[in-house]
Amino acid sequence: MPELFIDSVNHWFGEREILSSVYINCKIGEVTGLLGRNGCGKSTLLKIIFGSIKPNFKYLNINDKVYKKGYQSKNLSYLPQEDLVPDQIKVSIAIDLLCPKNRAALLKIDLISKYLNTKFHELSGGERRFIECLLMIYSDNQYVLLDEPFSQLSPLFVEELKSHINQVKISKGFIITDHYYKSILGISDRIVLLHNRCNYAIKNEGELVLHGYLPGFTA
C-alpha cells in the first residue's frame, strides 16, 4: 500500500536534542494529526520530511523508495508557517504551477474564482493563507504536509478547509499540525503526539491530558 514514512529521526539544535528516534507515517486516504507543545519539534519534523532541514539521522521512504529530501520525490507538498507563494505571482499562475491537474476543482471555489487575477500581495493575510492552504490540498502530489493551516483563519474558513481535506483525502495522505487541537482531532484519522522528544500514538483526548498536552492532569 502506498505510504510515506520517516523513521529514526534524530535532530539536535546545538547541545539540545529535539527529536529522538521519532517515527511517523501517513497512508493514502488518511489524515495524520500531529500535536505537541510549543518547541517540541512539530514544524522541525515536517521540514525534515520535506527536506528543508537536514537532521542528524533519518530514514525517509515514500512509496517504497528512499529519499534524502522529500521534495525530490515530486510527490510531496508542504505548507510552511510563513508565506508560500511569492508576492508578485497571480493566483491563476500559482494554480497552473502547483495544481494544474486539479485546476477545475479549484475554480469551483468562490474565493479562488473571485481572486483569480489578483496577485498574492494584494490579498488580506487570512485570504492569502486560505488560498495557499487550498493550493496545497489540491496540489498534484499524493502527500501533503500542512504546518498550522488553521492559524489566521476565521472559523468559517477553517470549516471550509476541513471539508476540502475530507473531499480529497480519498486519493491523498495528509500530515497536519496545528494548535487548534479540536480541529485536528475532528479531522484526523490518527493522532500522534510529540512529547519528550518522542512520538506517542494517541487514542483519545484523555491521553493528551495524561501526556501533559492538555491541562487537567492531577497525579
**Alpha-carbon span 17 to 198, nearest angstrom:** 11
Query: C-beta of 133: minimal distance to other proteins in Å?
Result: 13
Residue 14 burial by CB count (10 A; 0-12/13-18/19+): exposed, middle or buried? Answer: exposed
Count CB atoms within 10 A of the CB of residue 216. Answer: 10
Q: Is the dihedral of CA 148, 154, 158, 161 positive or negative?
A: negative
Determine if 2 is a binding residue for other proteins (CB under 8 A): no
Q: Is the dihedral of CA 210, 213, 218, 219 positive or negative?
A: positive
Determine if 80 is a binding residue for other proteins (CB under 8 A): yes
Residue selected from 136, 153, 176, 192 as contacting other proteins according to rule CB under 8 A: 136
> Looking at 13-21, 57-65, 91-99, 101-109, which segment touches other proteins (CB under 8 A)?
91-99
**Alpha-carbon span 142 to 186, nearest angstrom:** 22
What does the block give as the cell for 88?
508578485
Determine if 74 is a binding residue for other proteins (CB under 8 A): yes
Residue selected from 50, 67, 130, 200 as contacting other proteins according to rule CB under 8 A: 50
75 vs 188 by CB, closer to other proteins: 75
What does the chain come to in residues?
219
Amino acid at the residue 145: L
Determine if 72 is a binding residue for other proteins (CB under 8 A): yes
| Number of residues counted as binding other proteins (CB under 8 A) | 24
Determine if 44 is a binding residue for other proteins (CB under 8 A): no
Determine if 107 is a binding residue for other proteins (CB under 8 A): no
Determine if 97 is a binding residue for other proteins (CB under 8 A): yes
Residues 6+ apart with CB under 8 A from 219: none
> Looking at 66-74, 109-117, 155-163, 203-211, which segment touches other proteins (CB under 8 A)?
66-74
Interacting residues toward other proteins by CB under 8 A: 50-52, 69, 71-74, 77-78, 80, 82-89, 93, 97-98, 136, 139
